[in-house]
Amino acid sequence: MSLAVPMRRLQRGLVPPAASVLQRRFLNIHEYQAQELFTSFGVEVPKNFPAFTVAEAVEMAKKLPGDEVVVKSQVLAGGRGLGHFKENGFQGGVQICAKDKVAEIAEKMLGKTLVTKQTGEEGKPNNTLMLAEKVGIETEKYFSIMMDRGSAGPLMVGCATGGTSIEDVAAATPDAIIKIPVDIMDGITAEQAQTMASKLGFKGAKGEKDAATLITNLYKVFIECDCTTLEINPLAQLSDGRVLVCDAKVNFDDNAEFRHKKIHELRDVTQENPMEVEAKKYDLNYIKLDGSVACMVNGAGLAMSTMDLLSTLGGSPANFLDVGGASTVETMTAAFKIIMSDPGVKAIFVNIFGGIARCDHIAEAVVAGVKAVGGNDAIKPLVIRLEGTNVEKGMEIIKESGVKAFLTNDFTTGAKEAVRLAA
């Protein structure tokens, strides 16, 4: 499990929304894709192949050494090994089996929905398998690199105990966690890589040397591919002394997409919330939450303040939605359609502060958006708060439009009414 706060904790209300929402929005790729990327940087991984059908799984298994293979479901969530498939109850998204059993196992996994501790009960679709060679693991370590505000740069995190929840280890024995900051300008040094390898406890001079080389190459992946997090669990030393990456999670900075078109083309939208996928088409910053008050706000800071105020007043935000400063009829229409498609929404709070984007222009877009989803007969209870540039004209446009809404200039008054309507 990652040291980063999972988005699911935000949705369950275990952390304040405003503090956590910015930890989202990073490209995540499947394990087989990460393994291929690692190989291109000289990082050692077990021999593996992806399979998209049962027949392909059988053929790929034949190419692997040994009598047994590892069959791993490819969903973007942790805890796969302890998960189960919703349709047939089959236990375990990671299986070790004889090659003549691959077809049987693949049939139970492909095209099914895997439920893990990180997916929630809805699960995630498993459309791909990774067939990997079975290796003899002697020891398992944990290793990751992430951007760290405290050290103002990349931070290497390690633990001599891997293959388990690093959060549990950190809570029980915090001294077991190794942290080595790396200067963003100078990059990783041979001494830092060697120190990490030594503290992780790799056996033998060659094992320690190979681990240091692998750590250096993983740092190259992190920097050159604009990663936000690179997590290896386990980083394993085999019984024959080799050091391999046996499981990986890699996130990439969406802001660097223009530099890494091929990596970002790997995005698997089937693993994402369909409403979030639709929102991205219109450059809307949308994150689905579990509450009942939909928020439509211009500006990330105001959006987070809105979510906090709703929570303080006893309500629960159904989403984070920043429509941006250039709200148009098209984007507002898309925003209303996305919000209306969420069955959990009981009320909508449109909270607009007009600055560069004038209130009259936004009001026209809001009116058009409401009408596009069916008008007053279709829209859910609506609260609109307008303040800022041309606010009087904006209010007038909404009043004359016939759109049924609770109108106010006051932030708190609007939030209270939204909470009341959603109760």
For the chain, the average pLDDT equals 89
- In this predicted structure, what is the pLDDT of residue 284? 85
β-strand partners of 212: none
Give domain limits for the chain.
47-134, 137-264, 273-422
- Catalytic residue (choose from 142, 219, 282, 286): 142
Would you list the DSSP string of 3-56?
SSPPHHHHHTTSS-HHHHGGG--EEE--HHHHHHHHHHTT-----EEEESSHHH
| Contact status, residue 109 vs residue 73, Cβ threshold 8 Å | yes
- In this predicted structure, what is the pLDDT of residue 115? 95
- In this predicted structure, what is the pLDDT of residue 18? 39
pLDDT at residue 3 tops 50:
no
- Catalytic residue (choose from 231, 276, 364, 417): 231
DSSP state of 76: S
Q: pLDDT tens across 369-392, in order?
A: 899 888 888 899 999 999 999 999
In CATH terms, 137-264 corresponds, of 3.10.580.10, 3.30.470.20, 3.20.20.70, 3.40.640.10, to 3.30.470.20
Q: pLDDT tens across 405-417, in order?
A: 999 999 999 999 9
Instruction: Please report, for residues 95, 101, 114, 406, the alpha-carbon distance to residue 74 in angstroms, rounded to integers and kept in the order given.
Output: 12, 19, 9, 47
Q: pLDDT tens across 291-307, in order?
A: 999 999 988 899 999 99
- In this predicted structure, what is the pLDDT of residue 138? 94
3-state SS assignment for residue 375: helix
pLDDT at residue 16 tops 70:
no
pLDDT at residue 59 tops 50:
yes
> Sorting pLDDT into bands at 50, 70 and 90, what band is 272?
confident
> Sorting pLDDT into bands at 50, 70 and 90, what band is 78?
confident
- In this predicted structure, what is the pLDDT of residue 170? 84
Higher-scoring residue by pLDDT: 118, 25 = 118
CATH, range 47-134: 3.30.1490.20
| Cα(96)–Cα(130) distance, integer angstroms | 12
Higher-scoring residue by pLDDT: 422, 119 = 422
> Sorting pLDDT into bands at 50, 70 and 90, what band is 326?
low
Q: Percentage of residues in the chain with pLDDT exceeding 70?
A: 93
- In this predicted structure, what is the pLDDT of residue 27? 87
| Cα(327)–Cα(25) distance, integer angstroms | 21
Q: Are strands 347-354 and 382-388 parallel, antiparallel or unpaired?
A: parallel
| Cα(225)–Cα(263) distance, integer angstroms | 8
Higher-scoring residue by pLDDT: 91, 254 = 91
Instruction: Please report, for residues 20, 362, 370, 407, 408, the alpha-carbon distance to residue 350 in angstroms, rounded to integers and kept in the order given.
Output: 22, 11, 11, 10, 10
Print the SS3 string covering 212-231: HHHHHHHHHHHHHCCEEEEE
Tell me whether domains 47-134 and 273-422 share a fold. Answer: no
Residues 6+ apart with CB under 8 A from 262: none
| Contact status, residue 363 vs residue 400, Cβ threshold 8 Å | no
- In this predicted structure, what is the pLDDT of residue 166? 81
- In this predicted structure, what is the pLDDT of residue 83? 94
142 among known catalytic residues: yes
231 among known catalytic residues: yes
Higher-scoring residue by pLDDT: 346, 254 = 346
| Cα(364)–Cα(400) distance, integer angstroms | 11
Q: Are strands 406-408 and 347-354 parallel, antiparallel or unpaired?
A: unpaired
User: Average pLDDT, stretch 241-248?
Assistant: 92
Other C-beta atoms closer than 10 Å to the C-beta of 281 total: 8
Other C-beta atoms closer than 10 Å to the C-beta of 122 total: 9
pLDDT at residue 159 tops 60:
yes
Query: What six digits make up the tokens of 415?
Result: 């939030």
Nearest Cα to Cα of residue 405 among 390, 421, 388: 421
User: Average pLDDT, stretch 172-201?
Assistant: 95
> Sorting pLDDT into bands at 50, 70 and 90, what band is 162?
confident
CATH, range 273-422: 3.40.50.261
